[in-house]
Amino acid sequence: MTLTDWTVVLPVALALGGTALCAVFWWRPVIQSAIGIVITLLMLVSAGVLVCTVATEGPQTMAMSGWPGPFGIVFAVDLLGAGLAFVTALVGLLILIYNFGDQSSDYRRVGYTPLLLAMLAGVSGAFLTGDIFNLYVWFEVLIIGSFGLLILGGKKAQLDGAIKYATLNLLATTFFLIATGLLYGLTGTLNMADLASKVAAVDNRALVNVVAALYLLAFGMKAAAFPLFFWLPASYHTPKPGVSAVFAGLLTKVGVYALYRVFTLIFPASDTIFADLLIWIAGATILAGGLGAIAQTDIRRLVAFTVVGGIGYMLVGLALQSPLALTGGLFYIFHSMLISTALFLAVGIAGRLGGSYDIAKLGGLYRARPAFAMMFLVVLFAVAGVPPFSGFWPKVVLVQASLAADAPWLAGVILVGGFLTLVAVARAFAAAFWDNGEEEPPRATHYGDRVGALMLPTLVIIGLSVLMGLAAEPVVQLAGQAAAGLSDPSAYIEAVLGGSE
């Protein structure tokens, strides 16, 4: 065991250890929150070291009990997995800081921090595992944590949203497990690097396509892709904003990551019958998100539909599968993980200040809190892809990739989707901040004295969005390097299998 070996698994080990430690201090919510902040900070450092290691030395692996792939359980991380694990830790840290001031001690006492850490363990494990069955296991871990978070508080709306969320995710994991069983029967292996060659050698291509279709269905449901996206806006607006923020920032991205991994390494989209289908799914998801956002009167549901639309942009990169398209898609994933989180955090603050999430009842917030209004506007611009914020450049790259792939209609859909999102968020901002919903400016709730502290995590993400927009070249290069690893996975396969292939 080397230090690098431990670095590969450390984000997951830290989150699991933090979950157990929080359980020891179950009736000490302040201690739990402190443990959570320390653990996520350590996760951030370890994931940052992992990103630097992978960027300089190539993909890294850790074989459990010394059994090398494909015979043992392997953690395998390329630049994409390491980068996503880093952003996961950052989102978790900012969410815990936000919730330290957002939630009452009673709310934290029922298990918020250990459930969040368990969910972070599942998310990080999904990004770092090299075994497709263990990808299923980590999906189950994050679902358990996320379902617990979703129902904290026990309100009727939460339980209703939780039923939709749980039903669709249980169906998705069932399809996932069926596909994995069929895949093992066809190839005799579950190691993803080993599957890259074993699947290509299977003679029964019809059954291979059935397995690929099951994976597309399972991961498409988890990613909230069209037409199976309806569970997201039906559930994400029901819990507290700090819970919705971590859901929006992380959960759907695990589904997107799984699609990228499986349909570049195991079933390359260009070699299957699903390439054209993915393009239509991506375009429909973009339009569904934009049109759905325009139709909303609840600001939480509006931002939930912007998350759906963002999934479509990510899927464009996978559908086209050129290096340029993959670069734009991966850039958008990193951008969306941060901005979707910031958007729900900002919505939580707006609801606290205005006492409602109904857009029509939030009028006058600009007069009450002009600084917060400007902060909120910046987040909305980033979501809509207005320059110079981080959402602009990946859309530019994806439009270029669409035109290069002789799909001008898809480039048009990207532009129309961005316009629809801009109209939706501009309408919401005008109604909630500029219009005079009341004769007097809205009064903050009894938590209003802590609103300033809640803005800190959102401001951090805004700063990162502006930095990624003004200095986009390093991010594009990093996304391009990760995309090259997906286009040519030979280095990943060699790191996992070595001489065992």
Residue 275, token pair as written in the block: 């390439």
Statement: residue 459 has pLDDT above 50 = yes
User: Are 84 and 479 contacting, i.e. CB atoms less than 8 angstroms apart?
Assistant: no
- Asked if the peptide bond before residue 268 counts as cis, ω within 30 degrees of 0, the response is no
* Amino acid at residue number 203: D
Q: Is the peptide bond before 29 cis (omega within 30 degrees of 0)?
A: no
> Is the predicted pLDDT of residue 442 greater than 50, yes or no?
no
Beta strands in 244-313 (DSSP E): none
Confidence of residue 108 (pLDDT cuts 50, 70, 90): low
Q: What is the pLDDT of residue 190?
A: 92
**3-state SS assignment for residue 487:** helix
Angle (nearest 5°) at CA 191 between 185 and 192: 100
**Whole-number pLDDT of residue 159:** 78
- The percent of residues above 90 in pLDDT, for the chain, comes to 52
Integer Cα distance of 175 and 266 in angstroms: 17
* Weakest-pLDDT range from 340-344, 421-425, 428-432: 428-432
Distance CA 279, CA 256 (A): 14
Q: Is the pLDDT score of 496 beyond 70? A: yes
Alpha-carbon separation of residue 329 from 185, 259, 351 (angstroms): 32, 12, 32
Confidence grade of residue 501 (pLDDT, cut at 50, 70, 90): very low
Per-residue pLDDT band at 82 (split at 50, 70, 90)? very high
The Cα–Cα gap between 348 and 248 comes to 13
The secondary structure of residue 500, as a DSSP letter, is G
Whole-model pTM: value is 0.93
User: Identity (one letter) of the amino acid at 479?
Assistant: A
Give me the amino acid identity at 241. Answer: P
Confidence of residue 448 (pLDDT cuts 50, 70, 90): very low
Cβ-contact 351, 292 below 8 angstroms: no
pLDDT of 6 reads: 81
**Nearest CA-CA partner of 497 in 254, 201, 189:** 189
Q: Which residue has the tokens 């001031």?
A: 101
Higher per-residue pLDDT: 286 or 157 = 286
Indicate if the pLDDT at residue 109 is higher than 80: no
Residue 365 clears pLDDT 60, i.e. is over it = yes
pLDDT value at residue 69: 66
68 against 270, higher pLDDT: 68
- The per-residue pLDDT for range 197-256, each reduced to its tens digit, is 899 888 888 899 999 999 999 999 999 999 888 888 888 878 888 888 899 999 989 999
Per-residue pLDDT, 499 = 45
Q: What is the pLDDT of residues 83-103, one digit of tens each?
A: 999 999 999 999 988 887 665
In the structure, what pLDDT confidence band is assigned to residue 452 with cuts at 50, 70 and 90? Answer: low
- Structure token digits, residue 4: 């690098």
Q: Which residues pair with 76 in a beta bridge?
A: 61
DSSP 268: -
For the ranges 63-77, 174-188, 314-328, which has the lowest average pLDDT? 63-77
Query: Are 332 and 465 in contact, with CB atoms under 8 Å apart?
Result: no
Closest Cα partner for 410 from 316, 288, 480? 316
Q: For residue 497, is pLDDT > 50?
A: yes
The pLDDT assigned to 445 comes to 43
> In sequence order, what are the residues at sequence separation of 6 or more whose Cβ sits closer than 8 angstroms to the Cβ of residue 255?
219, 220, 221, 222, 223, 224, 225
Q: Is cis: bond before 241, omega within 30 of 0?
A: no
- The type of residue at 57 is E
Cα 88 to Cα 8, 153, 284, 295, 338: the distances in Å are: 15, 25, 27, 31, 9
**pLDDT at position 148:** 86
Mean per-residue pLDDT of the chain: 87
Spatial distance between the Cα atoms of 497 and 501, rounded to a whole number of angstroms: 5
pLDDT value for 387 = 86
Alpha-carbon dihedral 133, 137, 138, 144, rounded to 10 degrees: 160
pLDDT for residue 439: 44
Residue 121: name the closest of 99, 145, 104 by CA.
Answer: 145
Query: Using CA atoms, how far apart are residues 501 and 499, in angstroms rounded to an integer?
Result: 6
Find tokens 């800081």 and name the residue.
97
pLDDT tens per residue, range 6-45 = 889 999 999 999 999 998 888 787 888 889 999 999 999 9
Residue 426 has pLDDT above 80, yes or no: yes
